[in-house]
Structure 1
């Protein structure tokens, strides 16, 4: 019998977990290494999953768990800073009419669901481990890991995120660049009246928004101009976010009252990254945030990463030969979809930074989201 092909996946986030699950389903032997000793540590507060992300999660076989753990809805409200609702728009069902337009979910819950699916797939998982050295030739890659192990693989998939060490190791010099914005995020109890995302533009921040993530939970965020992170003491995070949130009306007073624990508040800058030309070198290929990221103005970051995993696994599973042409075909198929998402997400943020009041934000959003109804 021919030995099964072997793949090492570096990184156990959404993209790495998804590609692992799909490759195992195709009978490919997969090792997954994750730098964190606690796989679900630092998973964050909340996430907005559009329909095209849900479509991939259904393909992974975890849609029922996601549906049970999250909160589905189909519209977005635009409000004034005082909470007055100015407009309510129906969200486009980018995953098809048989899936919700949007599901809000606690990030640790999504990670838990994916971890369980990876474990059930039979993949071999090693936590607290990084790839220390990659030596490749025409037939495969020998990988030395920080836990002292060494393995030989037909392919390595780098899914190790925005600051990917794999990207640097294979000679891709691109790095994420700040866009000029930053976001405060927190998980709080959900007020009974919150049944969709509402976005307030103006006030002391560019955007103040929230998304229901379950029967009793909410994910709230405030976007502002980025500040020197080193100058903001971690102990002041709750005070900083609550101070911004307190300027908004409607549901915000109840939300702001729960922003009390600085350890539960997250502050990050928005970054932009889009690697052009190819997403592989030899037999090492990159997916997800390792090759593209953008501000969450379209809530498409996780969706694009999940789609990467789906397309790469589909191509690998269906090909007799894993070669440069196949991995380049993966890039060509993805770049035409990822590029407009990155560019639109960055543009929406730049309009806000520049104070452009007549920008066609709804039109750009609509055109981009319509594109995403097509299969990846």
Structure 2
């Protein structure tokens, strides 16, 4: 591709607010610092920008939308400890405290009649050991925080920059304007239908999970004005609420800073033909039939909500996340698409950024780039696959049709509650017990372990071969490491 000269310079995003001055935690800086071009300014792309700038690399983020952060509070995100601990490593725990609120417990009831099945309190020791807190935020505030941090650290953010072509060697990209941007490594963070994913997974028909989501954020003032609903935003012990029902379920959670809580409201039902996009917004009258026969609080929430109806889909995990050139990798939903509004999807994107940057903090030679990208897929693929299955399983667990199995499940949970015990403890409810294990995962430790076990091995093998006058086949070593 011929380089096109454009009269408008590359610019750093002019923010409509003044970024705070943060005390970012120190990080090991790469010896060789290269240029990463990130396609997509969502949470995954911005997290990669923050993480890679922390270890010294150049970063340009290309985002096609002009106002890509927006100001909507329509979506909420539950951040488990494995996600918030990454912000702690980055020296941003105070910023997370400013935009979110810790969630202390889960209250589970029947959807049809509000019958209390039990309460699960997150154990203090578990959370302390995990190194993070269970925190709820709005999607907008999280994205804005990542944007501010990326700009502060020196990343260049370009909006209205739609990528229409990637060079065959993955060393440059062409924008819709005709401008060509050079890259040492391209990171595809442009989602499950983006250009980068299509390079690696051209045939990608989605499969329905059989579930559709109604997703909304209800202003806190509306909740607090109703005595029957106000407990959903209690400040003394902030709770996530879950309702189990026959082929339907619901979740709600306070989001935002503690002094300004709104309520994220999710309702799940059997898919009757929803679309995959986020443009199908329902009126309360359109939503009401789906809520028929539910308990009074759910009915009231439905009247306050203007939910987006979206089909929960499963898409393929590409066999390869790394392009054959060894110069392009996909992350976030481009690599591991999760259904919307699940708990572990956003945390997997932040873990991606943490692992990728930790690997590239060791970069000393260009020949290492391919190895690090393959290592990234090795470290991330299995975890993302199992967590997606868990997320979908958690929702379907809440929606199991009424029958002997659900009656047994409900009696077991209520018995635990009556005994003063956590309703999901001791592995009796196996589907939910796995959530405990996931909180303790440390993305940076995983990357460090790979470096100690494989990265240093590769460097020592190379040094030995050079000493003996033999050229080391780095690609063959990469393949052997991947098989292992």
Question: When the two structures are superposed, what TM-score results if normalisation uses the length of structure 2?
Answer: 0.69
1:295–1:349 Cα contact (<8 Å) kept: no
Match for residue 15 of structure 2?
none
Match for residue 229 of structure 1?
274
Distance in 2, Cα, partners of 1:37 & 1:361: 49
Larger relative helix fraction: 2
- Superposed CA deviations along residues 49-85 of structure 1, whole A, max 9, x for unmatched, are 1111111223344332221221211211110122232
1:52–1:95 Cα contact (<8 Å) kept: no
Match for residue 177 of structure 1?
207
Match for residue 58 of structure 2?
29
Distance in 2, Cα, partners of 1:298 & 1:56: 19
Distance in 2, Cα, partners of 1:8 & 1:297: 28
Report the 3-state secondary structure (helix = DSSP H, G, I; strand = E; otherwise coil) of the residue aligned with 1:208: strand
The verdict on how the C-alpha distance between 1:48 and 1:371 changes in structure 2, with shifts beyond 3 A counting, is closer
* Residue in structure 2 matching 1:220, options 239, 252, 265: 265
Match for residue 124 of structure 1?
156
Q: Quick check: 1:202 aligned with 2:245?
A: yes
2:280–2:310 Cα contact (<8 Å) kept: no
Unaligned runs of 5+ in 2: 1-30, 225-229, 233-237, 410-426, 444-484
Q: Quick check: 1:8 aligned with 2:37?
A: yes
Report the 3-state secondary structure (helix = DSSP H, G, I; strand = E; otherwise coil) of the residue aligned with 2:429: helix
Q: Quick check: 1:252 aligned with 2:298?
A: yes
Q: Quick check: 1:89 aligned with 2:120?
A: yes
1:344–1:364 Cα contact (<8 Å) kept: yes
Larger relative strand fraction: 1
2:204–2:315 Cα contact (<8 Å) kept: yes
Kindly state the Cα deviation for residue 8 of structure 1 after the two structures are TM-superposed: 0.3
Distance in 1, Cα, partners of 2:119 & 2:287: 26
The verdict on how the C-alpha distance between 1:171 and 1:348 changes in structure 2, with shifts beyond 3 A counting, is closer
Kindly state the Cα deviation for residue 353 of structure 1 after the two structures are TM-superposed: 6.6
Kindly state the Cα deviation for residue 10 of structure 1 after the two structures are TM-superposed: 0.6
Q: CA RMSD in A?
A: 2.9
The verdict on how the C-alpha distance between 1:301 and 1:97 changes in structure 2, with shifts beyond 3 A counting, is same
Q: Quick check: 1:318 aligned with 2:318?
A: no
Unaligned runs of 5+ in 1: none
Distance in 2, Cα, partners of 1:77 & 1:258: 21
* Number of equivalenced pairs: 367
Kindly state the Cα deviation for residue 95 of structure 1 after the two structures are TM-superposed: 6.3
2:217–2:264 Cα contact (<8 Å) kept: yes
Matches for 1:112-191 after TM superposition, within 5 Å: 112-137=144-169, 141-170=171-200, 172-188=202-218, 189=220, 190-191=223-224
The verdict on how the C-alpha distance between 1:292 and 1:91 changes in structure 2, with shifts beyond 3 A counting, is farther
Distance in 1, Cα, partners of 2:390 & 2:369: 32
Match for residue 459 of structure 2?
none
Task: Look at both structures and tell me which one has the larger radius of gyration over its CA atoms.
Answer: 2
Question: When the two structures are superposed, what TM-score results if normalisation uses the length of structure 1?
Answer: 0.87
Q: Quick check: 1:301 aligned with 2:345?
A: yes
- Superposed CA deviations along residues 336-369 of structure 1, whole A, max 9, x for unmatched, are 3212112222334455677463689931221243
The verdict on how the C-alpha distance between 1:178 and 1:302 changes in structure 2, with shifts beyond 3 A counting, is same
Distance in 1, Cα, partners of 2:391 & 2:130: 26
Match for residue 340 of structure 1?
386
Kindly state the Cα deviation for residue 250 of structure 1 after the two structures are TM-superposed: 6.0
Distance in 2, Cα, partners of 1:165 & 1:71: 36
2:83–2:132 Cα contact (<8 Å) kept: no
Distance in 2, Cα, partners of 1:80 & 1:130: 47
Kindly state the Cα deviation for residue 148 of structure 1 after the two structures are TM-superposed: 2.4
